[in-house]
Amino acid sequence: MQGFWQRFLGNPRVALSLLWLFFIVAVAAAAPLLAPTSPFAIVSKPFSPPFGEFLLGTDSLGRSLLAGLIYGARTSLLIAIIATLAAVAFGTLIGSVAGFYGGIIDDVLMRLSEFFQTIPSFIFAIVLVAILSPSADSLVIAIATVSWPPIARVVRGEVMSIKSREFVQAAIVIGQRDVAILVGQVLPNALSPLIVTGSLLVANAILIESALSFLGLGAPNLMSWGFQIGAGRAFLRDAWWLVTVPGVAILLTVLAINLVGEGLNDALNPRLRDL
């Protein structure tokens, strides 16, 4: 296990990314302390430029851009993480049942996941949020609904290969119940690809959430990075920082998560590194 931590943290890309993610998580957690007013509060005249009274200036309604960024970190991370957890839970359930029982159950469940991978998932997410009416809950539901198939496929593959190993066969012979075998024997051994896929899904969830918020489908009472960009786009010509800065926040966060995911993959499968 020591080898893993050395390989993982010794990678400078991973170390830098983790630093940025810790920073963002800390900002999100301490949002009410860092930005005492609500991100929707009008604090000054519209379009005051950056580095004045407010570090990043104010938007078209006189709201502080920085306060929006701080609260936006909260919204983006919370929605992305909860949606990913839901997708991982559902994908693991579907994938392990399909891989463990095989046969017609496997066929049906895999056709279902292929179906969800074929349909244009972002349009499906738009339709879902529009029909459930925009809120944090509908965002989580929509993102989770379009994100579970990769998890199901990864888990299924792992379960199928672990199922034929001797220790699982032994557990079957001594009469353990299926659920106990799956949870106690099979899934712990499928953990590492699950963690890698799950971490990459968080990045994807942030991108989907920001795109939905940009289109005006975000949670109406929560400030988010995508909403800030959507609100600032009409003033691109005169106040370009209103669009640029939240975009950089999304870019750095998604980039950091992707690099951590790749670093996890490299550290968990050292033999594949040269590929």
Any idea what the Cα angle at residue 43 is, between residues 226 and 228, rounded to 5°? 5
* 250 touches other proteins (CB under 8 A): yes
User: Minimum Å distance from CB 188 to other proteins?
Assistant: 29
Surface-to-core class of residue 3, CB atoms within 10 Å of its CB (0-12 exposed, 13-18 middle, 19+ buried): exposed
Out of 61, 236, 269, 270, point to the residue binding other proteins (CB under 8 A): 236
| DSSP code, position 244 | H
Q: How far apart are CA 243 and CA 270, in angstroms?
A: 40
* 119 touches other proteins (CB under 8 A): yes
Surface-to-core class of residue 224, CB atoms within 10 Å of its CB (0-12 exposed, 13-18 middle, 19+ buried): buried
β-strand partners of 64:
58
Q: Which of 189, 258 has the CB closer to other proteins?
A: 258
| DSSP code, position 235 | G
Which single residue is written with the structure tokens 């529009």? Answer: 130
Stretch binding other proteins (CB under 8 A), from 25-33, 153-161, 175-183, 207-215: 207-215
Stretch binding other proteins (CB under 8 A), from 45-53, 61-69, 96-104, 232-240: 232-240
User: Minimum Å distance from CB 25 to other proteins?
Assistant: 18
Q: Which of 91, 226 has the CB closer to other proteins?
A: 226
Stretch binding other proteins (CB under 8 A), from 40-48, 89-97, 127-135, 175-183: 127-135
For helices 225-232 and 191-214, give the axis angle rounded to 10 degrees: 30
Which single residue is written with the structure tokens 């198939």? Answer: 149
* 202 touches other proteins (CB under 8 A): no
**The two structure tokens encoding residue 17:** 């990314």
| DSSP code, position 134 | S
* 234 touches other proteins (CB under 8 A): no
Nearest to 183 by CA among 207, 211, 155, 148: 155
* 255 touches other proteins (CB under 8 A): yes
Q: Which of 53, 137 has the CB closer to other proteins?
A: 137
* 123 touches other proteins (CB under 8 A): yes
* 233 touches other proteins (CB under 8 A): yes
Out of 37, 161, 244, 269, point to the residue binding other proteins (CB under 8 A): 244
How many other β-carbons are positioned within 10 Å of the β-carbon of residue 61? 12
Q: How far apart are CA 177 and CA 100, in angstroms?
A: 12
Residue count, binding to other proteins (CB under 8 A) = 43
Q: Rounded to 5 degrees, what are φ and ψ at 242? A: -60, -30
* 207 touches other proteins (CB under 8 A): yes
Out of 5, 40, 115, 167, point to the residue binding other proteins (CB under 8 A): 115
Out of 38, 176, 192, 258, point to the residue binding other proteins (CB under 8 A): 258
Residues that bind other proteins (CB under 8 A): 111, 115, 117-128, 130-133, 203, 207, 210-211, 214-217, 226, 229-230, 233, 236-237, 240, 243-244, 247, 250-251, 254-255, 258-259, 275
